[in-house]
Amino acid sequence: MAVTMRDVAILARVSPKTVSNVVNDHPNVHPDTRARVQQAIAELGYRPNHSARGLRSGRTGVIGLAVPELRQAYFAELADAVIAAAAKRGLSVIVGQLGGDREHEIELLTHGLPQTDGLLFSPERLGTEDRDLLAYVDFPLVMLGEWIFGGPTDHVTMHNVSAARAAVEHLISLGRRRIAVIGAHPDDETRVMGPSNLRIQGYREALAAAGIEHDPRLERVVAPWHPEDGADAARQLIESGLEFDAIFTLTDALGLGALRALGEAGRVVPDDVAVIGFDNITISHLTMPSLSSIDPGRTEIAETAVGMLVERIEWGAGSSRPARLHKAAFDVIVRESSGGMASATPKTSSRQPAPQTLNG
């Protein structure tokens, strides 16, 4: 594993901020302390991140975006939205794909993406228990997604629980009572935060509020979140013989697979089974039938995150300004798979207040 700033700080018996000051050649460091930190750097072979060097020598005009997997349509479309938001500000974007590899994610937090002024980072294998790692980041950083809450960095995410609850409430409003959910993750049992757990929470809350008994057999575990996996889960649900009249899929990709499996089995959508997904990816309105979905505010997420990152770059990596949390507004998009029109416009919305401050 790569040597981190934290390792240097421990060996030199100083704070990470002091190590950062030495690395960035700040003048207000006692000579003895500077020598001790430099000795620790040499002894450990610590390599300062490229982003900080770029900021010292002049900005590159490039920001980084790191996501788990571009094969997932949500992340591909998020990248497109980030590139558009950056272009408005005269910036280019380098996109990195980490493949859900924990070691790669830690390495990225240690060194950033080469030749970038700052980073938008959506991890998959780091969790809230890893938020202390963020204290040692010495480049502008904005976190995306659901895994790390309460850290010292700006964070832009979505309303997973309330949006999922709204999706299931929509199905309940149609008179559906046996509502299955596809997309629980097998490794999420010990991880409270994370999109699948949060969306499952919203699903259960909607059932409870409507007085519908929760049947755990209707919760189907799926990993990864690809269309073929959604199709397999729906086939297993059909073959189980369990009664169900609606399906909530935790992503649209899973929903597309579920529509395929239902069609193969002769189940008519939405007459026999109503379906709603999550993400509102572009292809969702082109399927037969078109897929109802939750639009989680992807454009707002991209615009807000890029704006926050640009501010952090302007303020400087060592800025002590409080971290901010922003959750984008969502929409319930009702299409043919739950009785709406093919080219549906938003039916209901959740409005989000101004960004909050984290950690004081």
Contact by Cβ (8 Å): 183, 196: yes
| Single-letter residue type at 246 | A
Give the Å distances, CA to CA, from 22 to 12, 16, 34, 35, 57. 12, 10, 6, 9, 16
* Listed residue (206, 288, 188) closest to 275, CA to CA: 288
Q: With b meaning 16 or more CB within 10 Å and e meaning fewer, what string describes 72-111? A: bbbbebbbbbbbebbeeeebebebbbbeeeeebbbebbbb
CATH number for the region 49-157+301-328 comes to 3.40.50.2300
Per-residue pLDDT for the chain (360 aa), expressed as one digit of tens each? 567 788 888 999 888 778 877 876 676 788 889 899 889 988 888 876 544 544 444 688 999 999 999 999 999 999 999 999 999 999 999 999 998 888 999 988 888 888 899 999 999 888 778 888 888 888 999 999 987 777 789 999 999 999 999 999 999 999 999 999 999 987 655 555 688 999 999 999 999 999 999 999 999 999 889 999 999 999 999 999 999 999 999 999 999 999 999 999 999 999 999 999 999 999 999 999 999 999 999 999 999 999 999 999 988 755 678 999 999 999 999 999 999 887 655 554 454 444 444 443
CA distance 214 to 205: 10
Question: What would the pLDDT profile of 47-67 be if each residue is shown by its tens digit?
Answer: 765 445 444 446 889 999 999
CATH 3.40.50.2300 for domain 160-295+331-358, yes or no, is yes
CA distance 281 to 32: 56
Task: Mention every residue, 6+ apart, whose C-beta is less than 8 A from residue 21.
Answer: 28, 29, 318
Q: Is the peptide bond before 355 cis (omega within 30 degrees of 0)?
A: no
Query: CATH 3.40.50.2300 residue ranges in the chain?
Result: 49-157+301-328, 160-295+331-358
CA distance 237 to 218: 8
